[in-house]
Structure 1
Amino acid sequence: MKTKIIALLLLISCSSIAQDKMITKTGSISFEASVPSFEEVKAKNSGVSCVLNTQTGEIASLALMKGFRFKVALMEEHFNENYVESDKFPKATFKGKIENFDISKITTTATNYTIKGKLELHGKVKDITISAKIKKGKDGMEIVSDFTVNTDDFDIEIPSVVSKKVTKKVNVRFEFVLK
């Protein structure tokens, strides 16, 4: 009897802890560094992990650099070997907090929130502040954001031979459905 009560208490405590976190392993991050009149420089990674602590609003995300897919295989190769040096810097991470986050106020109507944190990319860390839309969707809580990253902030060099074809101001979009 004592064992059953302890097992029941453990089960209840584990389930209440698990509800404090929402997660996805299939989030997406896309970016575009195209310049008008030149070939599109755009990629997407659909295997991005994200965890949200619903009690504190703390959020963390991880993207493997080799997970980005381009339309042109040669661009993907150059991205991994020459720009982000994926073998040396295999991942990008973000750790931050959603300001004034209260899960009880999330509805099916998207609301703008500010997220502040640290983005680590190419071995460099930068404080960033972004705006994100958050809402309840049919498959979970949806978080979507569009923001810009400057390649200079992360020591990502763009060779002079392609500098007119690739912008240093990279448009980034992430889409997460957390469950």
Structure 2
Amino acid sequence: MTTKNETTETKTAETTPAATETAKVAALAQNVESFLKAQLAVAQKRIEELETEAQKVVKTLESRGQEAAKEAQALWGKLQAGELLADPRVQELGKKVESARAELGKRLDGIQTKVVEAVGVASQAQLKDLNKELAKLSRKVDALLKPVRRGSNGAAKSASSPASAPRA
């Protein structure tokens, strides 16, 4: 006869692997959850930094825009008088505007790239590279499959064609 303690030990031994496995799964799920939360927090912090940087760029652009508007109004009078194009300040202003435009374009591209990296999405350049590589591999596969297709088609035609078989 088995005692009550032996029966309890047997049941505990039988349920222990299942309980251990459940505990492992729960611990793994908690580890994954904490990892994802940490990654999300890092991404959110980076996005906030990018937003702050973007706000600084916008403020800089606003101040430059206000300065340019003041200069434009002053030069508007000269334009109406017809002396604007010969003015060296106009030529200098044109150079400043072009350099500011180029700088703004670079900054916005940089911010866009940082946002794409923070989110974890492939950039357009990466997608183009992947498409080129995919096209190369596709051509290689097609080139490798052409002889196989010809060989299988040729064998099928000669077996099914009675004109090519010799008659006795």
Bucket of the pairwise TM-score, normalised by the shorter protein: under 0.3
Q: Which has the higher strand share?
A: 1
Q: Which has the higher helix share?
A: 2
